[in-house]
Structure 1
């Protein structure tokens, strides 16, 4: 009787595990389209935020369709390639050599003229950080910035995704007076840098701040030839 009892218990547990797994798989499959949709909306909101345009989950599609007037893919030589800029995964592109990368560009119509939006991605203290930088038509002056992160510390590194930090980037320059790429210095307290290339780092979030600084330099370097072609 004990053997039969044990067999029954094992079979019952196995059947329950299979049933629960099947239910969870079904729920996951049912929710996946909405999850994909939510990510698309969030991405559109982030791109719009980088050009200082507020949007909601309800109106992001409409505003994005109106304001984003062009999008395309380039390589690190600045040449245009075939492809869909919106679906480019920068994480996957960064795993390639620079010569193989496909880089997205978005053109946005604003009340202040045409702006160019460039996605950026790097590493903070606890994981990936990413964002979008918009440039004026001079391909040098930052018009707006929007950053996000996966797991930075609240009140410290997570401050990169707050408005006070992002607003510092408005009007900053990424090329120096000689036309050489300088990028942006996310400065520690007391660190000297030209004012037009400097923003204040996050107190207590030095590693995240420097990770963001490196992210900008790395990705601006990849876009450098494109920016120079557009300027000329």
Structure 2
């Protein structure tokens, strides 16, 4: 009888231990998912920091170095925390609505990172712009696209095209940038850039995107 009791006790303990081991992985699943989301957000933030020339190795407290804001369709500006600010920059190119414009200010400087978007020949196009918020000068630009033609419209990502915009000053009351292609002025403006050969439509749309997109930030510039 004693042997039966001992065996029964051992069996119960074994089953309980097995049940606990089966439960443990399920308890860890939310932690893994949260970590994965955090990594995605961190990846986008690091990309933004690199674009504005803030080295990852120097980042100790990002909140002390940059601040995020959002400007809505009415021109009202609100501050965002790091998570929501990063998420707005990440989602901006893929959303059709233009009402919420992302802003990332580099603290203790006049630099600000903005985004504009438009439609190219084959699909959406967008740009990140590092600007001097006081003089409205473009300090750095990066154009991206979803489906422009290789060898033609996709040329907007080439540094030879992008570098033309560096040093251009944005006027918030009229067209700042003109498009010249094959000796003809396709878009009138104060500061000309040369379009991409064989990609007139994409070149036009890039210039329209900048002229109209940055005009959308007029209230932000005026209130600084």
The answer to whether TM tops 0.5 is: yes
Q: Distance in 1 between matches of 2:198 and 2:101?
A: 33
Structure 1: which 5+ runs fail to align?
1-29
Q: Distance in 2 between matches of 1:167 and 1:225?
A: 27
8 Å contact kept, 2:179–2:195: yes
TM-score normalised per structure 2 = 0.67
Greater RCO, CA 8 A, separation 6+: 1
**Does 1:157 pair with 2:153?**
yes
1:158 and 1:94, CA in 2 relative to 1: closer, same or farther beyond 3 A?
Answer: same
Q: Which range moves more in the overlay, 39-48 or 160-169?
A: 39-48
Q: Distance in 1 between matches of 2:128 and 2:40?
A: 18
What is the match of residue 121 of structure 1? 117
Q: Distance in 2 between matches of 1:41 and 1:207?
A: 33
The offset of 1:187, in angstroms, is 2.6
What is the match of residue 168 of structure 1? 164
Structure 2: which 5+ runs fail to align?
1-31
In structure 2, the residue corresponding to 1:166 is in which secondary structure?
helix
Q: Distance in 2 between matches of 1:145 and 1:208?
A: 16
Larger-gyration structure (1/2): 2
1:216 equivalent among 210, 218, 222: 210
In structure 1, the residue corresponding to 2:68 is in which secondary structure?
strand
Q: Deviations over 1:189-225 (max 9, x none)?
A: 2134788622111111111111111211231122112
Q: Deviations over 1:22-69 (max 9, x none)?
A: xxxxxxxx99x86995686357425643x4x387xxx49949938951
Moved segments of 4+, more than 6 Å: 33-36
Aligned residues: 187
**Does 1:79 pair with 2:76?**
yes
TM-score normalised per structure 1 = 0.65
8 Å contact kept, 1:186–1:210: yes
Q: Deviations over 1:149-197 (max 9, x none)?
A: 112122211111111111111110111xxx6232322332213478862
Aligned alpha-carbon RMSD (Å): 3.5
Q: Distance in 1 between matches of 2:63 and 2:146?
A: 30
What is the match of residue 66 of structure 2? 69
8 Å contact kept, 1:159–1:165: yes
8 Å contact kept, 1:107–1:115: yes
